[in-house]
Structure 1
Amino acid sequence: MAVNINDALAGVMVLDFSQVGAGPTCGMLLGDLGADVIKIEPPAGDIGRKLGPPWQHGESVVSMSFNRNKRSIAIDLKKPQGPQLVRRMAARADVVLESFRPGVMDRLGLGYEALRLLNPRLVFCSVSAYGQTGPWRDKPGVDGIIQAVSGLMSNIGSEDSPPMKVLTPAADMTTGFLAMGAILAALRVRDATGAGQHLDVNLYNSAIMLQQSAVASYLSCGEKPARTGTAAPYSAPNEAYPTRDGWIMIAAYHEDRWKALCALLGDPALAGDERFATNAQRVANRKALMSELSRRLATHTSAEWQERMEAVDIICGPIADYDMLAASPQLAHNGVIVEMRTADAGVVRMPGAAFGDRDAQARVRRGPPAIGEHSVEILHAAGVPEDEIAALLASGAVVQKKDVQP
């Protein structure tokens, strides 16, 4: 019997200390694949819970978007009972995921070297701004700063625009996906050898990897890429063009499609213009190409052009805003938007895990947890006696959400 991909990590326990975006994205994806992800946060909660607007019933939508399929236990690591409790949990865990500044977990007695003595099979993943070593090791960094120092911002926008950032937290999200991949690989090695390892995943490296072709091009020729707006710097036409009612993105740089586009626009001779005869010439003469195509494309709507272009196999698509995205029949068919219920915010909708088929994508076990929503439940599962649980709650070393019955 085939195992659903969303059950691939069933039986794997992850202790997730990470906060804000990158680490929580990784933990969420591991949870999507069936891992039991225990979000360990301070009594005041992950600092990402304060990001907003927007808010839904007082809860940060941004934070919720990174934290489904997890259970939350609120532990005060500043109290001596906190680290002691974590060590007990780590002895049974498969993965520890943390995003403190380098050295913080060591000072708490919860670093990799300390925990591997308790559990040699432990996979320990540290997510940081610049890495666990190097001259920038101790610098703080968040998504926007990393987009700046990695060179990413210098490439975004048009020729005359100031530097811009990717609106979605691209460095955070890329880091989360890379951390997930690293953990999956380390678990496979662990299963083969019996030994865990310490993984050093950081936003800086991830943002550079995100720029694979651009950085490779610079290292090859030494020329800094120009800001080309919607255009791909290595091919043309491959950018957005204005139509009668909006914009349409066209990728017709392969020679057959370029000729088909010229014919569709009623000017087949344009394909033989010496300025545009090859992809390299079209890239070199992009402004003239933009002028020629824009004048012709302004005669019809985006929808009309899309229908005509698709009929002759020209790759294209309208520039969709989120209203158009939400109404897309493909979005509805793919099932990538999932709905879940939370303890405090009610029903929330967000992109789900795009793994496997539609049924796998739609699998959501839990909505994003409230702070300490599962504290007592997790302590019971860890084998902590009732009197010790009561003492932990009384001391404030552990906090249980008040309207959840222990």
Structure 2
Amino acid sequence: MTPPDDPNRQPPPSSEDGLTGITSLASAHGALETGRGLVSGVVAFALAVMSLLGVIGFHFPAYLSTPEFRAVYDVTTLRYLMAGGMVLAGSIALVNGVLGRTRWLAAWTFGLLVLALLLGGPTTPIPDFPDDTPYLGLDFLILDLLGSTIVFVLIEKARPLRRDQPVFRAEWQNDLTHFFFNHLVVGFVLLVTNRVVHGGLGWAANDGVAAAIARPPFVVQLFLVVLVADLVQYAAHRAYHEVGFLWRFHAVHHSAKSMDWLAGSRQHILELIATRILVLSPIFLLGFSQRVIDAYVIIVGFQAVFNHCNVNVRLGPLRYVLVTPNFHHWHHSRDTEAVDKNYAAHFAFLDYLFGTAVRADRMWPDRYGVIGDYIPVGFLKQQAFPFIGSTESRERPTLAPESHAWTPPADAE
């Protein structure tokens, strides 16, 4: 059994012309129609868009690249990736054009590829630029989108929870907009976080505490930093659910009706900033080393995406220790037994310790989303919702509709 389709969704066009087709594709919220070249056409179009954005990033690295990211990646490798992406996009568009499938989308793809080549393509020289300039994380956006798509879509296809859920499912455009925005403003988020954490709390840092934290082996330090972060995150997450005004921000994240690698990107920007400040503050005050923090960032980045994935993973007895997709899917459930449960981000034992774990963890939830379904669809509407939402939704509902437990097929266990 699979969750019922959203009756209010609007399927994207299977055939349109020119700008009308692109506008309709971007504004619709339904799953893409298969068998007519639309899915492959969107993939090619996305590769063409990323290629063009990459070329623009090469021209203006001071303003369109992330300093922390620049220190890690190799530009030559990026050039080869761009060239490969452009060839793949052009090949898909050519095949669709010859077969007469979504020619309007193929034309857009070719147009973007030609523009990227005219601007220099993969061989675009990178000019010298000063440090400490305001920037948009365009490189972070492109590389994370490309890497996340490859890694997590493959994981979802290798062990799917809901086999008939398409990659381009309902409301994917909405979540992709959140993904774009959250990555582009990474510089602003880091600036605000650093100003608050380092500027406002620097006086409270203690060298003695930092020295004590640095004594244990690296693995112990890593466990401690993840535990500290998750304790703070648990408290903040619980407050987001139990305090009416805070819930209005967090409800945006819970409004996703489908769970996959992209669903976790749906988040209000103020919640994103507040949570980052709250979690990083004790990490900074305790004096964890940069090496330990870097490892923690990798862990939290992976778990944040993986635990929303459309993947059937429970990890046996380890599910009582670590947060898994099974554990976090229940947190997003509309079922009665899942209301205000499973708050932890990394260590599931915190919820068992504090009495907030869903006990029916041998089943998967059937339905996701906000009870009452009162969150509007659309990035700007969701950013505005906490301030101008309907009066009926100012208090978070505490009861859910009747539970409809759903168990995956035996071969998916």
Fold agreement, TM-score > 0.5: no
Return the index of the structure with the highest Cα Rg.
1
Structure ranking higher in helix proportion: 2
Structure ranking higher in strand proportion: 1
Class of the TM-score when normalised by the shorter of the 2 chains? under 0.3
